[in-house]
Structure 1
Amino acid sequence: MPERGATGPRVLLRRLREVMAQPASAQVRLDRIVKIIAADMVAEVCSIYLKRQPQVLELFATEGLNPDAVHKTTMRVGEGLIGDIAANAAALNLADAQASPKFAYKPETGEDPYQSLMGVPILRDGRVLGVLAVQNQTRRHYTDEEVEALETVAMVVAEMVTGDLIDPASLSGEEGRIGPRLVKGLALCDGVAIGTAVLHEPRVEVHSLIAEDPEAERMRLLRAVDELRASLEELFARAELGAMKGEHREILETYLMFAEDKGWLRRMTEAVEQGLTAEAAAERVHNETRARMLRQTDPYLRERLHDLDDLTNRLLRKLVGEETAAVYALPDDAVVIARAMGPAELLDYPRDKLAGVVLEDGSPTAHVTILARALDIPMVGRVGEMADLLRTGDPVIVDGEAGEIHLRPAPDVLEAFRAKTKLRAQRRAAFARARTLPPVTRDGVRIALNMNAGLPFDLPHLAETNADGIGLFRTELQYMIGSEMPRLNAQSAFYREVLDTAGDKPVVFRTLDLGGDKLLPYGRQLHEDNPALGWRAIRMALDRPALLRYQIRALLEAAGGRALWLMFPMVADVTEFDAARALVDHELGRLDRFGKPRPADLKVGAMLEVPSLAMRIRAMAGRADFISVGSNDLLQFYFAADRGNPRLAGRYERLSPAALGLLRHIVTEAEAAGIPVSLCGEMAGRPLEAMALVALGFRALSMPAAAIGPVKLMVRSLTIATAERFILDRLTSPAATIRRELEEFAFHEGVIV
């Protein structure tokens, strides 16, 4: 195939603009576009495939293939080379396409003579709308410049087909906005909000795509970026934010670093030089980055994408002169609905008018989630295409406890949640009154109530809740939120801060629990078919002992002569614990050699998350100073059921006789071995489940800080002797669960659950 002529992408874009401006139907313009692209790219074939359904691509226009195949040839996303481009949202460049094992032959198209193929995704807002492809009879590898040119053209095509040829709602698979609706998601921040839906930052429409004067566009882009940076610095310098320290301040500073990223500006500048306007250049870079990052499994990298989304939206508003949604008149009970949100966007909204937040994406460790918790804003995430299900002004309820969204709730549902908010307020007042009261049962048994933590913003809750200590400190979070592995001094300083804050209360540090869904942004990613059961936690630490020794050294030095508790996660056998304990002994010897003080009291324990260790508890006698049951993973492995899979929700029942029997076995075996045992996990933070745990013999529980108050009220209203008889009698029940029976017991006995 001859090389492309000297027209360049700018000339091609001008020709496409002329076609788009013609008074013709969208289909006619699309037919003309494929002819122009084929001629400019010196290609025998140019075809456009678009999505009619969420997973089906349809041939919409072609130059070179059989015209009768238009609107008849379809393929699923992932099927053939075209489907592969759509599935991966990535360009494909093959000199011999038909030799590829992914090639899918469609005889009606008449593509037999064509050997080489180059295809790019048609992207809008990071989502794949279709595929644009060119083909030639000769075998050749298209140049990088040709690929970039086709990607630029694909962006123009995306702007034209959206609305004219594709109904965006049809791509989501949703049925539209109809009556009351319940949407289940992920609980991110506790609380209940009853309010009015406000769609966050309606998408900035980029109408001007092709530049008349590239140099003028470049200057517009540079000015807008400068204005963006200045506005962010002004936002973060606000008085109420200036007082923020630690994690919250670091989040804002990290966010600002993205705006200063030179690579981001360079890619947008290059797009302008290819003939796009400043707005279109920003949109193109955003689309390409978002599509690439959505394929990442690393949760940290995906969270950084949310920051990039926010920056792009702000830059586009600077370029088109639009204000943010937060400056418009907001209802006093605004519930903001967003696909994703950066921390700066959350701060744009007046706190006194923001009732809650709903995110289509979102995760517990996202920057915006951390900030929302600090500001006490109810938040639910991972709810799918929420913006397609409602309009601004719709009534909505955010249940941050259950992770549910009620859209346009029926009057009885609305009334029930109003009663729930009143009850929450009353219970909060009761928690506050009980803060200084000891968690002692009616028959005089003291239950230790500890809190879980992992980040600096968790530490003030220790005093606020009057918890007995920190029963689980997740040390891996410090590794996951940074761009590089924390240095020894930084780790030691962080652990010292935790111990200083806790004072004379114990802190149980769990050593690194990495792997599975906890990936380091600076680490090498490994593909595993079943990562939850793969190379993670203590397995990774023992295979890479330098990493564990490094952390143990930081913990020992941070203790500085004080008491220190540490435990190893996911121990499956006694030999694993012995190997990890040997590393602690090695580091203790190092302290002696350098004349540094040992901890005044060192306790080393194991986290029981693997069922095999439950059968080896007596063998841990004389080895482990304590055992902490990690109920989340333990029961997941015990039932062989992913607790996050909604289809398996009924197969992961914490209050089944099988689960309770296993936990009772652990308690009795630990007592026989003389090893103190506690439990941390979701069970500990739910009053009904916590009641069952206390009845089974657990005397120390660790839970989220918000659960301390409710569980304390349960403990103070419980008589253990009565509860123990009740639950032990039901461990042999053939029922799948005794939840209802426990609820009836609590009601009749006056136990507050």
Structure 2
Amino acid sequence: MAQSGSADDRLQAVVRLIASNMVAEVCSIYLLQPDNRLELFATEGLRAEAVHNTFLALGEGLVGTVAQTARPLALSHAQQHPAFAHRPETGEDPYLSYLGVPLLRSGRVLGVLAVQNATTRAYKLEEMEALETVAMVLAEMVASGELVNLAALHEAELVDDRAMHHHGVAISEGIALGHAVLHQPRFHVTKIIAEDTGEELGRIEEAIGQLRAQVDAMLSGDNLGRAGEHREILETYRMFANDRGWLARLREAIESGLTAEAAVERVQNETRARLMRQTDPYLRERLHDLDDLANRLLSHLVGVPLTAAGDDLPTDAIIIARNMGPAELLDYDSDKLRALVLEEGSATAHVSIVARALGIPMIGRVEGITDLLEAGDAVIADGDTGEVYALPSSEIVDSYSEKARFRAKRQAQFRELRDKPAVTKDGIAVSLTINAGLMVDLPHLHEAGADGIGLFRTELQFLIASAMPKLSEQQAFYTEVLDEAGDKPVTFRTLDVGGDKVLPYLAHAKEENPALGWRAIRIALDRPGLLRYQLRALLQAAAGRNLRLMFPMVAQVSEFQAARELLDKELARLQRLGHPRPLDIKVGSMLEVPSLAWQLDALLPLVDFISIGSNDLLQFFFASDRGNPRVGDRYDLLSPAVLSFLQHVVAQCGVHDVPVSLCGEMAGRPLEAMTLVALGFRTLSIPPAAVGPVKAMILELDAGKLADFVNERLSLPDSSLRSQLAEFAFDNKIPL
């Protein structure tokens, strides 16, 4: 392989060498072409004129069967096998026995290596393993691109699997054209043949020990929130990491002459090839577990990081991952980041919030994307529609380039509205504030022309930290936020953790229904020291200024009262110590739990404002887990039931003269925002990128006319008013 000369000549030398060492009359190599046919590329023993003139379809003949199943095939009487296909041009009639193995790389079949003998020969297991080892080496030669057009082959694979065009869920808007960067890179082994088998066995034993310790630490440390893994999956990892069959196959591969890295890759290639062809979704899901396990093991062996964040990224990186946490995304160079595509993910996950803060297009729930893409593949990610194109054609690239130019022009038009007040045609002023949680969000406050920060998620500082932030660190952070905001108001939401946002350093028991469990205000009241610590930092940061704060997930008035008492204790402490206090304090409650809506007469006299969190409200209102793809999108926020509920809350707040805002993702979409204004909302807190589109909509809206239109339809039994509202916008030339 390392010699000079053409790839075809080297391949021919390889088949001669294999035939001689295997004592076989025939050795042949077939390579997969973009049209899904296997072409004879080199042979020793068959007719020379058959090279590049003999083709077999996947599943056709013995060679096609090996390629389709991705498994070795050993036969003493090959011509009696039902899959045997006669190819007279090859002159293979005299040869009775057959041994074929697939050329595998990253679980993909690149071709088939086969030997044949004229006698009826029972091939030994050692011979099969030797041929598989040689096939690994040949696969690397093929992957270099000298023999076949690997990009064309990969594109053909995607087209054949109807997988070139993927649909996911649009999470953060924007369009990106770039190249794939695998968040957890696949390790391609370069040193395959071992010099010292004993040393390699020692290395694999040491790496397995490190892997087991890592999995045990993740489980015992309850670090599941940041890892993005569920305990059940880690228990599965632990089971695989201790599986005797898997470990025995690794040792056998090393004993056959492979390095520890090559053994891991070979065993994983075999497993991957089998599982990729399974139709059972449970078995296919195990592929992800085994891939992750093998990657972790290779990471220990080669001593490189498990993610690509520290690599030399391309300038147009589109990160491809199964899932990731917010801290992992922040590890990447944001100047080179163009988009994020996940197999999992949801609009309300914290990595989604960070992606929107960075202005990065993001698409979630793109099934199988990490298996289908290789590092460096051209990708288009459409964060507006949730579409992903892998290895797009020139026509698609041209189309999306034009769409990106149009979007940039539209964004420029939105920027022209930055200093213009958001006032409807019939004179109703609407305050547009932004959602934030990190310092990277703060520049958007002024760039977007927002009126303030309507929701500052304080928990993000806690979630991206490896230990509880100190009082001084919290105070410095909140001070910096207030300094950056200047004279614009900032509403801080106290710590909202628990559920799917588990702090790695806070003991937290496993819960059957974490979204309905020990989280937010419930943790704060059970661990009052945690809340008082944060309130102390907020009060000290806001000394001499105005402070607005609100408590999350309040389900009953007594919870708000208890939290307010803790705030009063911290205020008394400031006075006792003679420390300066804020000039003015406004304290509000979030309304995310429907039960609170029927206690408003008791709650509203106690609060300065109410903020509705539509993200959690929707899942509690419909008993629908927003993270479950089967039901998460089944219920619509524009249903008459939800709109009637929101209208009731607005009316009650009006009676008590208490300001009410809505700070969920709902308010960031022009159609939904239009409807909220018609219901009586005068303050919306939205993602920074949504300020321009929502303001453009408000400027063309007659809120009174739409209010009449909505009120006439609130009693309808329809599951949603979305289509009717969209039609209203179209008829009245309201830009959405």
Indicate the residue corresponding to 2:711 in structure 1. 728
Q: Does structure 2 conserve the Cα–Cα contact (< 8 Å) formed by 1:549 and 1:587?
A: yes
Deviation at 1:651, TM superposition (A): 2.9
Percent identity at matched positions?
Answer: 51
Deviation at 1:278, TM superposition (A): 8.8
In structure 2, runs of 5+ residues without a counterpart are 1-20, 25-70, 74-104, 108-128, 138-156, 204-225, 227-246, 269-287
Distance across 1 between alignment mates of 2:678 and 2:659: 16
Q: Does structure 2 conserve the Cα–Cα contact (< 8 Å) formed by 1:336 and 1:358?
A: yes
Deviation at 1:207, TM superposition (A): 4.6
Aligned-partner residue type, residue 704 of structure 1: P
Deviation at 1:605, TM superposition (A): 0.5
Distance across 2 between alignment mates of 1:740 and 1:500: 43
Decide which of 563, 569, 586 is 1:586's aligned counterpart: 569
Distance across 2 between alignment mates of 1:282 and 1:542: 53
Aligned-partner residue type, residue 486 of structure 1: P
Gap change, CA 1:191 and 1:560, over 3 Å in 2: same
Deviation at 1:740, TM superposition (A): 0.9
Indicate the residue corresponding to 1:535 in structure 2. 518
SS for the counterpart of 2:558 is: helix
Aligned-partner residue type, residue 574 of structure 1: V
Decide which of 700, 703, 716 is 1:717's aligned counterpart: 700
Distance across 1 between alignment mates of 2:461 and 2:348: 11
Gap change, CA 1:447 and 1:206, over 3 Å in 2: same
Indicate the residue corresponding to 1:655 in structure 2. 638
Distance across 2 between alignment mates of 1:314 and 1:340: 21
Distance across 1 between alignment mates of 2:350 and 2:714: 43
Indicate the residue corresponding to 1:204 in structure 2. 188
Gap change, CA 1:215 and 1:344, over 3 Å in 2: farther
Q: What is the CA deviation profile of residues 241-292 of structure 1, one whole-angstrom value per residue up to 9, with x for unaligned ones?
A: xxxxxxxxxx9xxxxxxxxxxxxxxxxxxx9xx99999649979xx9xxxxx
Indicate the residue corresponding to 1:491 in structure 2. 474
Q: What is the CA deviation profile of residues 534-574 of structure 1, one whole-angstrom value per residue up to 9, with x for unaligned ones?
A: 11111111111111111111111110121000100000111
Indicate the residue corresponding to 1:682 in structure 2. 665
Decide which of 423, 427, 450 is 2:406's aligned counterpart: 423
Gap change, CA 1:175 and 1:408, over 3 Å in 2: closer
SS for the counterpart of 2:589 is: strand
Distance across 1 between alignment mates of 2:459 and 2:722: 34
Indicate the residue corresponding to 1:513 in structure 2. 496
Distance across 2 between alignment mates of 1:695 and 1:386: 41
SS for the counterpart of 1:515 is: coil
Distance across 2 between alignment mates of 1:368 and 1:687: 23
Distance across 2 between alignment mates of 1:441 and 1:411: 43
Q: How does 1:409-448 map to 2 (within 5 A)?
A: 417-418=400-401, 420-448=403-431
Gap change, CA 1:559 and 1:632, over 3 Å in 2: same
Indicate the residue corresponding to 2:553 in structure 1. 570
Q: What is the CA deviation profile of residues 615-654 of structure 1, one whole-angstrom value per residue up to 9, with x for unaligned ones?
A: 1111113201110000111121111111232222453201
Gap change, CA 1:696 and 1:413, over 3 Å in 2: farther
Deviation at 1:218, TM superposition (A): 11
Indicate the residue corresponding to 1:611 in structure 2. 594
> What is the TM-score with the length of structure 2 in the denominator?
0.62
Gap change, CA 1:712 and 1:162, over 3 Å in 2: farther
For the aligned residues, what is the CA RMSD?
5.1
Distance across 2 between alignment mates of 1:541 and 1:371: 24
SS for the counterpart of 1:561 is: coil
SS for the counterpart of 1:615 is: helix
Distance across 2 between alignment mates of 1:724 and 1:179: 45
Deviation at 1:440, TM superposition (A): 1.1
Q: Does structure 2 conserve the Cα–Cα contact (< 8 Å) formed by 1:362 and 1:382?
A: yes
Distance across 2 between alignment mates of 1:311 and 1:213: 18
Deviation at 1:483, TM superposition (A): 1.1
SS for the counterpart of 1:426 is: helix
Distance across 2 between alignment mates of 1:24 and 1:478: 66
Larger Rg: 2
Distance across 2 between alignment mates of 1:366 and 1:540: 20
Decide which of 618, 627, 635 is 1:635's aligned counterpart: 618
Indicate the residue corresponding to 1:600 in structure 2. 583
Distance across 2 between alignment mates of 1:565 and 1:217: 62
1:403 aligns with 2:400: no
Q: Does structure 1 conserve the Cα–Cα contact (< 8 Å) formed by 2:346 and 2:627?
A: no
Deviation at 1:403, TM superposition (A): 3.5
SS for the counterpart of 1:647 is: coil
Gap change, CA 1:205 and 1:393, over 3 Å in 2: closer
Gap change, CA 1:665 and 1:339, over 3 Å in 2: closer
SS for the counterpart of 2:497 is: coil
Aligned-partner residue type, residue 397 of structure 1: I
Q: How does 1:107-506 map to 2 (within 5 A)?
A: 177-179=160-162, 181-185=164-168, 187=170, 189-194=172-177, 203-205=187-189, 207-208=191-192, 212=196, 280=261, 316=302, 337=320, 347=333, 351=336, 356-360=339-343, 377-389=360-372, 396-407=379-390, 417-418=400-401, 420-506=403-489
Indicate the residue corresponding to 1:696 in structure 2. 679
Aligned-partner residue type, residue 446 of structure 1: A
Gap change, CA 1:338 and 1:520, over 3 Å in 2: closer
Q: What is the CA deviation profile of residues 714-740 of structure 1, one whole-angstrom value per residue up to 9, with x for unaligned ones?
A: 111111111111111111111111111
Deviation at 1:453, TM superposition (A): 0.6
Q: What is the CA deviation profile of residues 646-688 of structure 1, one whole-angstrom value per residue up to 9, with x for unaligned ones?
A: 2224532011111111110110011112211000011110000
Q: What is the CA deviation profile of residues 438-490 of structure 1, one whole-angstrom value per residue up to 9, with x for unaligned ones?
A: 11111221101000011111111111112111000011111111111011111
Aligned-partner residue type, residue 494 of structure 2: T
SS for the counterpart of 1:473 is: strand
Indicate the residue corresponding to 1:645 in structure 2. 628
SS for the counterpart of 2:388 is: strand
SS for the counterpart of 1:593 is: helix
Gap change, CA 1:177 and 1:368, over 3 Å in 2: farther
Gap change, CA 1:458 and 1:343, over 3 Å in 2: closer
Indicate the residue corresponding to 1:705 in structure 2. 688
Q: Does structure 1 conserve the Cα–Cα contact (< 8 Å) formed by 2:448 and 2:692?
A: yes
Q: What is the CA deviation profile of residues 76-121 of structure 1, one whole-angstrom value per residue up to 9, with x for unaligned ones?
A: xxxxxxxxxxxxxxxxxxxxxxxxxxxxxxxxxxxxxxxxxxxxxx
Decide which moves more: 400-409 or 512-521.
Answer: 400-409
Q: How does 1:12-161 map to 2 (within 5 A)?
A: none
Indicate the residue corresponding to 2:11 in structure 1. none
Aligned-partner residue type, residue 739 of structure 1: R
SS for the counterpart of 2:433 is: strand
Q: What is the CA deviation profile of residues 279-322 of structure 1, one whole-angstrom value per residue up to 9, with x for unaligned ones?
A: 649979xx9xxxxxxxxxxxxxx9xx99x979976984989xxx
Aligned length: 532
Q: What is the CA deviation profile of residues 304-351 of structure 1, one whole-angstrom value per residue up to 9, with x for unaligned ones?
A: x99x979976984989xxx999889x8x9775656679669955x994
Gap change, CA 1:340 and 1:480, over 3 Å in 2: closer
